[in-house]
Amino acid sequence: MSVPVEGVVKGDRADPSGRDRVRINDVAPRDGLQIEPVFVPTADKIALVDALSHAGYAKIEVTSFTSPKAIPALADAEAVMNGIERVAGVEYVVLVPNLRGMERAALCAPDEMNLVMSVSETHNRANLRMGREASFAQLADIVRALRGTAIRANVSLSTSFGCPMEGEVPEGEVFAWVSRFAGLGVAGISLCDTTGMASPAQVARMTARFLREHPGIMLTLHFHNTRGMGLANIVAAVQAGARRFDASLGGLGGCPYAPGATGNVCSEEVVHMLELMDFDTGVDLDLALAASARLPGLLGHDVPSQLLKAGPVTRLHPVPEGVVNVG
């Protein structure tokens, strides 16, 4: 079966072996740290972003320019952006919820602003304290302001696969918001599963529809592993043609304004799985695991990553004493 594939359309086969490139945006410094009760010192945040850069992630969501009252954990956004190393080939993204956030972020010259709103009215009001139309009007102003600058606009549509308060979000409504942002000329759109409500068949259907209806817009999928479906949803999306994913080192993450939110799909597990499926992520798994191993010390608790505990499939164990190899 032939499916439209994001990325390949742009002649995007970086790997000489011909493997398809999948771009992973590590959102641990933003989606991961925003929900942590401890304030991670600025120098440690910078070290985390630098480690992700050197591990080979295509993109890193470094921080958010939100109200420090709403997200105190990321109140040092400027200092982090100004302190990180800009590694060639890596794109540095920041989350922006409103015009004030755009003005602050623009001074730090990110490669991309990730503009956020929810497709569910209730979650938008809980998260951003305004209705969807008010959010859209602000984000539209930002998109227009970024035209002709070096900064790309991406829009993240939260609760695209379900809302923790309203329940099912009609697919037609999600695509109506996609069309409105497409009409503004945004470079990319992320469909976000804010609280792990997405399931594989739904993901395959929505991915295929997006690629069919909006082939010129970069599609990113953003899954949380709240109900254990994160990697299954990645498989469904990649098989339907998606080539860009958000994921979070260690499996950190969660929206403080979404009841029951837990971690993003774990980025080292996504890398490990996609490489076994013969995709090229560009990520050095050993470096990613080394960075993930430093997270518990930084946060004071264990992280969800199963790969960190088990190691990659290539990590073998010694044969127990007394076992005779008859093979």
In angstroms, the CA 118 to CA 191 distance is 10
In angstroms, what is the minimal distance from the CB of 285 to Zn ion?
23
Least Cα distance to 135 among 194, 186, 105, 177 occurs for 177
278's tokens:
């013969």
In angstroms, what is the minimal distance from the CB of 75 to ligand COA?
9
Closer to ligand COA by Cβ: residue 101 or 241: 101
Closer to ligand COA by Cβ: residue 69 or 317: 69
Task: Report the 10 Å Cβ neighbour count for 297.
Answer: 8
Q: Check binding of 189 to ligand COA (CB under 6 A).
A: no
Q: Check binding of 26 to Zn ion (CB under 5 A).
A: no
Closer to ligand COA by Cβ: residue 45 or 243: 45
Q: Check binding of 33 to ligand COA (CB under 6 A).
A: no
In angstroms, the CA 309 to CA 303 distance is 10
In angstroms, the CA 131 to CA 127 distance is 10
Q: Check binding of 129 to ligand COA (CB under 6 A).
A: yes
Of 10, 86, 100, 205, the one binding ligand COA by CB under 6 A: 100
Q: Check binding of 113 to ligand COA (CB under 6 A).
A: no
Q: Check binding of 31 to Zn ion (CB under 5 A).
A: yes
Of 7, 29, 56, 97, the one binding ligand COA by CB under 6 A: 97
Among all residues, which ones are annotated catalytic? Answer: 255
Q: Check binding of 98 to ligand COA (CB under 6 A).
A: yes
Q: Check binding of 34 to ligand COA (CB under 6 A).
A: yes
User: Which neighbouring-strand residues pair with 115?
Assistant: 96, 155
Closer to ligand COA by Cβ: residue 188 or 241: 188
Partner whose footprint covers residue 98, from Zn ion, ligand COA, none (CB < 5 to 8 Å by kind) = ligand COA
Least Cα distance to 303 among 268, 257, 259, 255 occurs for 268
Of 13, 19, 54, 104, the one binding ligand COA by CB under 6 A: 104
Phi, psi of 101 (to 5 degrees): -65, -40
Of 127, 207, 225, 292, the one binding ligand COA by CB under 6 A: 127
Site string for Zn ion, 281-310 (x = CB under 5 A): ------------------------------
Closer to ligand COA by Cβ: residue 48 or 157: 157
In angstroms, what is the minimal distance from the CB of 266 to Zn ion?
13
Of 55, 94, 128, 189, the one binding ligand COA by CB under 6 A: 128
Of 60, 62, 81, 116, the one binding ligand COA by CB under 6 A: 116
Q: Check binding of 193 to Zn ion (CB under 5 A).
A: no
Closer to ligand COA by Cβ: residue 25 or 66: 66
Closer to Zn ion by Cβ: residue 20 or 31: 31
In angstroms, the CA 193 to CA 208 distance is 16
Least Cα distance to 73 among 317, 253, 326 occurs for 253
| Contacting positions for ligand COA (CB under 6 A) | 34, 64-67, 69-71, 97-98, 100-101, 104, 116, 127-129, 158, 255, 257
